Amino acid sequence: MADARKVFPMQTFVSYMRGPAGTYNEDVINLLGFITQKEVDKEFAPFASGLSKAWIYEQHPELARLKKEDVAELGENVSVMSLPSDVMDEVNALFSKLDEYRTQSKELKDKVAEYEGRLEENKKKIAALESKVADYEAQMQDEGEKKIVASAAKVDDYLAKVDDLLAKIEEVKKHGVVTVSGEGGGAAEAAPAESGGTKEPEGEFGFGGGMSDGEFGF
């Protein structure tokens, strides 16, 4: 209710007027709440203070010159009125806007918390996928190494066969023996002529040793 009056301890005013800037104890917050007729907390206290201080000084100009050592001279309590009704529209508009900002701020904080939660979930999913990828790569590398080993074994086998074939070729070159499989199924062996003898050709055309002298009338 506007234009109400209430008595507060002098020490509350001392804490409010001469305390460190931005510090609001429970007694000071109660004082600001009464003057503005609003629900005031530490978040809204700076705004309520901006509305209240000039009004307090207007009612009690002596408080503007207040020093801690002068408290005893001014008494133990101070009576103040709440803000006049003709300024309450401005006060209501200000606190309405503050409530709106607080709601928006809470919604943003909740949204940030939600996104942070999703981010943590995604980080866990990414870590799990990275682990699976690492396992898959290790598996593929192991299988690839096995295939390489198998291929190397085949190459070694082929090389052994080639070496064996080359050895046979060298053997043929040295000894002149070649075994060839023909369509007739037989094997023909060619050997070098024996040394020390000459085989005369047979007289297929009648020029051999069997011709008698004067056979043709000479």
Task: Count the Cβ atoms, other than its own, within 10 Å of residue 34.
Answer: 20
- Cα(first)–Cα(last) distance of the chain, in Å? 174
Angle of helix 88-175 versus helix 45-59 axis, rounded to 10 = 160
* Residue 77 three-state SS: strand
Left if phi > 0, otherwise alpha if psi is -120 to 50, otherwise beta: which for 196?
left
For 145, the token pair is: 């190494």
What pLDDT is attached to residue 69? 60
Report whether 66 contacts 16 (CB < 8 A).
no
What pLDDT is attached to residue 188? 44
What pLDDT is attached to residue 160? 81
- In terms of C-beta density within 10 A (0-12 exposed, 13-18 middle, 19 or more buried), how is residue 44 classed? buried
Q: Could you read off the pLDDT tens digit of each residue along the chain, which spans 218 residues? A: 556 889 988 888 888 877 777 788 899 999 999 999 999 998 899 999 888 888 988 888 877 766 656 655 667 888 889 998 888 888 889 888 988 888 888 888 888 888 888 888 888 888 888 888 888 878 877 777 777 777 777 777 777 887 788 888 877 777 765 554 444 444 444 444 444 444 444 444 444 444 444 444 43
List of E strands, the chain: 5-9, 77-81
Q: Can you tell me the distance from the alpha carbon of 71 to that of 138, in angstroms, rounded to the nearest whole number? A: 81
What pLDDT is attached to residue 216? 41
